[in-house]
Amino acid sequence: MTTPVEVACMMTLPEEADTLFKHILQNARYAKRMIGGTPDTHKGKTVAICGAGPSLLDYLNQPQPYTDEVWACNSALPFLKSEGARVTHGIGIDQGEGMLADWAETFDVTYLLATSVHLKLVKHLKKHNRRIRW
């Protein structure tokens, strides 16, 4: 019989709150195309949201029903694209500079970002003429 082990976990943001607020202020000039600005544009549509966990291989290895959109979070985007999978959107979850490593290579998808993302990521995507929605 195994002895239970107590594990403590502390979750923190990659940036301090005041830094995130500065990101929001800096990104405000770019945030012109918002998600949800027009009601019912996706009514009746389907979406697959893919995280970068171990079940992502299941998504690739099993036949998937058709979905109208495929959204890939963080490093799931370059992984799925490298495997030839159909991806329509990239979702940036990390608000720190780490997303620059995940998205060093950019793709012809729509990038969905929070206004609190690091300004370097926004500049990187704009430099490669990528579509951004906030």
Which pLDDT tens digit goes with each residue over 96-115? 888 999 999 999 999 999 88
Tell me what pLDDT residue 30 has. Answer: 73
DSSP string, 41-105: TTTT--EEEE-SSTTHHHHHHS-----SEEEEETTHHHHHHHTT----EEE----STHHHHHTSS
This prediction's pTM: 0.77
Q: What is the pLDDT of residues 1-30, one digit of tens each?
A: 677 788 776 656 556 777 777 877 777 777
Give the three-class secondary structure for 112: strand
CB neighbour class for 27 (10 Å; exposed up to 12, middle 13-18, buried from 19): buried
pLDDT at 70: 94
Residues 17 and 29: their CA atoms lie apart, in Å, by 20
pLDDT at 12: 63
